[in-house]
Amino acid sequence: METFIPYIPERQDKPRSKRLTMVMDKGLSIRQAEDFTEIGALYTDFLKLGFGTSVLTPNCIEKIEIYRKADIIPYFGGTMFEVFAVRNMFDEYVDYALRSGLSMVEVSDGSWEMDRKLKLGYIEKLATRFTVISEVGSKKKDVVYTPAQWVSMMKEELQAGSVKVIAEARESGTIGIYNDDGSVNDELIARISEEVGTDNVIWEAPEKSQQAWFIKHFGADVNLGNIAPAEIIPLETLRCGLRGDTFFQFLPPEIIR
Amino acid sequence: METFIPYIPERQDKPRSKRLTMVMDKGLSIRQAEDFTEIGALYTDFLKLGFGTSVLTPNCIEKIEIYRKADIIPYFGGTMFEVFAVRNMFDEYVDYALRSGLSMVEVSDGSWEMDRKLKLGYIEKLATRFTVISEVGSKKKDVVYTPAQWVSMMKEELQAGSVKVIAEARESGTIGIYNDDGSVNDELIARISEEVGTDNVIWEAPEKSQQAWFIKHFGADVNLGNIAPAEIIPLETLRCGLRGDTFFQFLPPEIIR
Amino acid sequence: METFIPYIPERQDKPRSKRLTMVMDKGLSIRQAEDFTEIGALYTDFLKLGFGTSVLTPNCIEKIEIYRKADIIPYFGGTMFEVFAVRNMFDEYVDYALRSGLSMVEVSDGSWEMDRKLKLGYIEKLATRFTVISEVGSKKKDVVYTPAQWVSMMKEELQAGSVKVIAEARESGTIGIYNDDGSVNDELIARISEEVGTDNVIWEAPEKSQQAWFIKHFGADVNLGNIAPAEIIPLETLRCGLRGDTFFQFLPPEIIR
């Protein structure tokens, strides 16, 4: 069938260093996880078992196995880490992640603003046993960082061992790198992009308008996160110019009017 | 695995008298109903076959069986009752519910404002054969009750035989106990809570912000309704302090900063 | 069970000439497509494989078969047509549709505003081999047509061979026949309805408030499109007066208060 399809941007095979897509599972059943991998495996790099859902779903170990078999890297949402860390249960967290068969962990401080040294220490320690990603940005409206703070924190965390830093937006897409109405804080994003490097960042972008904005500004290969499972194919159409929002984005210049 | 999990608030086994959760099924398939029970059975007490969906889904009897086997009590949404009642088909409604294998029914007057005596009479009659819950509040923006009216109607209905009263919000969460923008009418809720008793009420709370508000104000055991099937695990994370919104809610005092 | 159900408006069997419902699949898995047909087949006439999703889902041919077996007519969203057309690959599009086993195609110019003669020519050519529906209205906020232009374009396209014309609203329901906030542009719709004929139009109406508006204004048999798979049963309750919004719509006059 491929011979009939118009040219669309090429996609690097997994494991990829860019065009990363992180999907959030908020409590799928086994069959729903299988359904997701059937349509989404090709386009999904990371699968976040969102916030503390992993301890409440009876099927977590089985789901982790399903995702791994589909060549998708599963990990616990950062809130799960914070739940253990705030209770001074770091070793128990390491045990929990290892026993669950995870190779990747997220370190965040969106709910519990921890001391910078403490956070960087966690990243360093975890990086000896896991692939680490870390998140910058608070989940709270009254905790606002300056662009310089965002940049500096992200650089420190990459330095400490994070392979990518995540820019916080919550599942709702109304905080961190976004304004209250979900619109993009473009000044902040420009600063992060220039000084931290777009390829080093995974932008949480749960809303279609946010995804389209990033693809228009940074191209098909921008790393995006907090994608709902049902939105994996619609996101890929945006990345390929197969939806109105990015229709003219990937056309050969001679046919753009 | 449990030994690794940090302390979270205890949950009474079913059947529970509080911490009740009512989920709304708007037309799930058989497999979707099974998928829901796989992840949600532990956390769900009541399953509402929303408004008039039960007569339009070809699989209703089979779904009712699935829910019952998962120890979840299924019932028809109040609009279904009103559809029969407004046509003067009360006896047919009783037949329909019995033949469908239901043990619980809902009496409401959100679409058809019926005379108080009529509604209370229906509750009394149905209470001789079913567990009855009843709903207070209109689905219409131009029908507004005072806090005193809410309280008085709820008390009358509990008196007439309802085991719980439901505070109306619709599937959208923008009416009844909420303002137009989905924010909480906290004065009204405070009055109901004080005078009717929080344990006697199921608060319809379809939006996460609404669920978080109730859990922060009344604790993990507050009764909540109109939860979407895919939101049952996210809601339970809120009840357990495993999500940003209620992260500090259930921590031992010595570690709250 | 039917004998217990109150009177609801009659529904013509498929294939129908009115009360048409078009559902949008944005990337369902095989099982999800089966789940949808289990509950939605009776109420769904057309199934749109939304925008360019068909070339990205690995299961497209199999899904098309599932929909056809359920007596639902599948077709590619108009953006897919535009993707080929803008690249001057009309013949390849015909091949792609035929090889995919489709009997219906959509011609639109929501992303690529094509010359009127070109669009009408495409409709004419495709009408010799397929059932053609065509869409009027842009996906862009800055392209606004007058009511007279809407009417004239729709009439021309029906003349050219479209069996129905679709009034654009996008998946979001905030453009074309709707205002920015999703509210209905009732003056425009009245003009289209009077001059083009309600039965000739499929109104895209993704939001419940929009669906309820059309059913209240044009009755249960109005043709509606861009319905999410999970909303097929809720929509049918609106068409049958089994939900608050249209509760009094289909009652015998003697019992309307």
Residue-wise pLDDT for B6-60, tens only, equals 667 778 899 999 999 999 999 999 999 999 999 999 999 999 999 999 999 988 9
Q: Chain A residues with CB inside 8 Å of C96's CB?
A: 1, 4-5
Q: Give the pLDDT confidence score for residue C4 in this predicted structure.
A: 52
What single-letter DSSP state applies at residue B106? Answer: E
How does DSSP assign B218-230, residue by residue?
H-TT--EEEE-GG
Chain C positions with Cβ closer than 8 Å to A = 26-32, 50-53, 55-59, 61, 79-80, 82-84, 86-89, 92, 95-96, 99-100, 110-112, 139-140, 170, 172
When pLDDT is averaged across residues B86-94 and rounded to a whole number, the result is 94
Token pair listed for B249: 């809610």
Structure tokens at A147: 């662009």
Could you read off the pLDDT of B139-165 as tens digits, one per residue? 788 888 999 999 999 999 999 999 999
Amino acid C8: pLDDT = 72
Q: Please give the pLDDT value at position C65.
A: 98
Q: Is B201 helix (H, G, I), strand (E, B) or coil?
A: strand
What is the DSSP track for A131-159? EEEEEES-SSTT----HHHHHHHHHHHHH
Residue type at A114 in one-letter notation: M
List the chains bordering chain A where 3 or more Cβ pairs fall under 8 Å.
B, C
Structure token pair of residue A9 = 């941007």
Residue type, B83: V
Measure CA A190 to chain center: 18
C1 pLDDT more than 50: no
Helix (H) or strand (E) holding C225: strand C224-227
CA atoms within 13 A on the CB side of C166: 28
What is the signed CA dihedral for B142, B148, B154, B159, rounded to 10 degrees? -140
Distance CA C28, CA C30 (A): 7
Which whole number is the average pLDDT over B99-119? 95
Contact B224, B235 (CB under 8 A): yes
Q: Is the pLDDT of residue B233 over 60?
A: yes
Single-letter amino acid, residue C118:
L
Kind and range of the H or E run holding C167: strand C162-167
> Which residue in this structure is represented by tokens 């403490």?
A118
> Which residues touch C134 (CB under 8 Å, ≥6 apart)?
C78, C106, C107, C108, C119, C123, C157, C160, C162, C165, C166
Name the helix (H) or strand (E) containing B210: helix B208-218
List Cβ neighbours of B218 (8 Å cut-off, separation of 6 or more): B193, B198
Compare B211 and C249 and report the one with higher pLDDT.
B211
pLDDT in tens, C42-88: 999 999 999 999 999 988 999 999 999 999 999 999 999 999 999 99
The sheet with strand A46-49 has its strands ordered as A73-76, A46-49, A21-25, A224-227, A201-204, A162-167, A131-136, A104-107
Distance separating alpha carbons of residues A249 and A256, to the nearest angstrom: 9
The reported pLDDT for the residue numbered A204 is 95
Asked if C31's CB is within 8 angstroms of A39's CB, the reply is no
Return the amino acid letter for A129. Answer: R
Interface touch A7/C57, C-beta < 8 Å: no
Kindly list the residues from chain B whose CB atom is less than 8 angstroms away from the CB atom of residue A56: 43, 233, 236-237, 240, 242
A129: how many CB neighbours lie within 10 A of its CB?
12
Say what the pTM is: 0.95
pLDDT score, position A226:
96
d(CA B96, CA B78): 14
The angle, 0 to 180 degrees and rounded to 10, between the axes of the packed helices B90-99 and B78-86 is: 140
Residue C198, phi-psi category: left (phi > 0), alpha (psi -120 to 50), beta (remainder) = alpha
Task: Give the chain C residue whose CA is nearest to the CA of A7.
Answer: C87
H-type helices in A107-254, by residue range? 116-127, 147-160, 186-192, 208-218, 232-240
- B52/C4 touch (CB, cutoff 8 Å), yes or no: no
| A241 and A248 Cβ atoms separated by less than 8 Å | yes
Taking the C-alpha atoms of residue B226 and residue B220, their distance in angstroms, rounded to an integer, is 17
Rounded (10°) CA dihedral C132, C133, C136, C137: -120
Among B220, B224, B214, B223, which residue's Cα sits nearest to residue B250?
B220
* A51 min Cα distance to partner chain B (Å): 6
pLDDT at B1 (0 to 100): 43
- Distance from C-alpha of B64 to C-alpha of A54, rounded to nearest angstrom: 28
Tokens coding A21: 């897509």
What residue type is assigned to position B152 of the chain?
Answer: S
Instruction: State yes or no: pLDDT of B197 exceeds 90.
Output: yes
Average pLDDT over residues C194-204: 97
Q: In which residue ranges of chain A is pLDDT below 50?
A: 1-3
Give the Cα separation of B140 and B176 in Å (integer): 9
**Percent over 70 (pLDDT), chain B:** 96
Classify C47 in phi/psi space as left (phi over 0), alpha (psi -120 to 50) or beta: beta
**Residues B109, B166: Cα–Cα separation, whole Å:** 11
Provide the phi-psi class of C90: left if phi over 0, else alpha when psi is between -120 and 50, else beta: alpha
CB B238, CB B210: distance < 8 Å: no
CB contact under 8 A, B233 and A26: yes
Is the backbone of residue B162 left (phi > 0), alpha (psi -120 to 50) or beta?
Answer: beta
The two structure tokens encoding residue A43: 């386009």
Continuous segment of H or E residues that includes residue C202: strand C201-204
Q: How many Å lie between the alpha carbon of A110 and the closest alpha carbon of chain B?
A: 7
Going by the DSSP 8-state scheme, the letter that residue B184 receives in this structure is: B
- The answer to whether the CB of C244 falls within 8 A of the CB of B51 is yes
* Helix residue ranges, H only, B41-177: 60-69, 78-86, 90-99, 116-127, 147-160
How many Cβ atoms from other residues are within 10 Å of residue A65's Cβ?
15
Of C6, C31, C237, the CB nearest to B56: C237
pLDDT-based confidence at residue C250 (cuts at 50, 70, 90):
confident
Token pair 């004239």 is found at: C152
Distance CA A122, CA A97 (A): 14
Listing DSSP states for B8-47 in one string gives ----PPSSPSSS-EEEEESS--HHHHHHHHHHHGGG-SEE
Q: Which chains touch B (3 or more CB pairs under 8 A)?
A: A, C
Q: Supply the DSSP string of C185-229, one letter for each residue.
A: -HHHHHHHIIIIIGGGEEEE--SHHHHHHHHHHH-TT--EEEE-G
Q: Which helix (H) or strand (E) holds C80?
A: helix C78-86
Tell me the two tokens of residue B187: 């004065």
Calculate helix-pair angle for B232-240, B30-40, nearest 10 degrees: 10
Q: Report the Cα C216 to chain-centroid distance in Å.
A: 18
**Can you tell me the distance from the alpha carbon of A99 to that of A80, in angstroms, rounded to the nearest whole number?**
15
Residue C106 DSSP SS3 = strand
The structural domains of chain B, ordered by start, are 2-255 (3.20.20.70)
Q: Which stretch of DSSP H or E encloses residue C85? A: helix C78-86
What average pLDDT does the segment C197-209 reach? 96
| pLDDT value of position B15 | 95
Instruction: Band the pLDDT of C3: cuts 50, 70, 90.
Output: very low
**Distance separating alpha carbons of residues A128 and A107, to the nearest angstrom:** 14
Question: How many residues are present in chain C?
Answer: 257
Task: Write the residue in B8, B31, B231 that is nearest to A31 by C-beta.
Answer: B31
Q: Measure the CA–CA gap between B71 and B53, rounded to whole angstroms.
A: 21
**Shortest Cα–Cα distance, C183 to chain B (Å):** 15
Nearest to A212 by CA among A199, A191, A231, A230: A231
pLDDT band at B138 (very low <50, low <70, confident <90, very high): confident
* Count of Cβ atoms closer than 10 Å to residue C14 Cβ: 15
CA–CA dist B98, B199 (Å, integer): 28
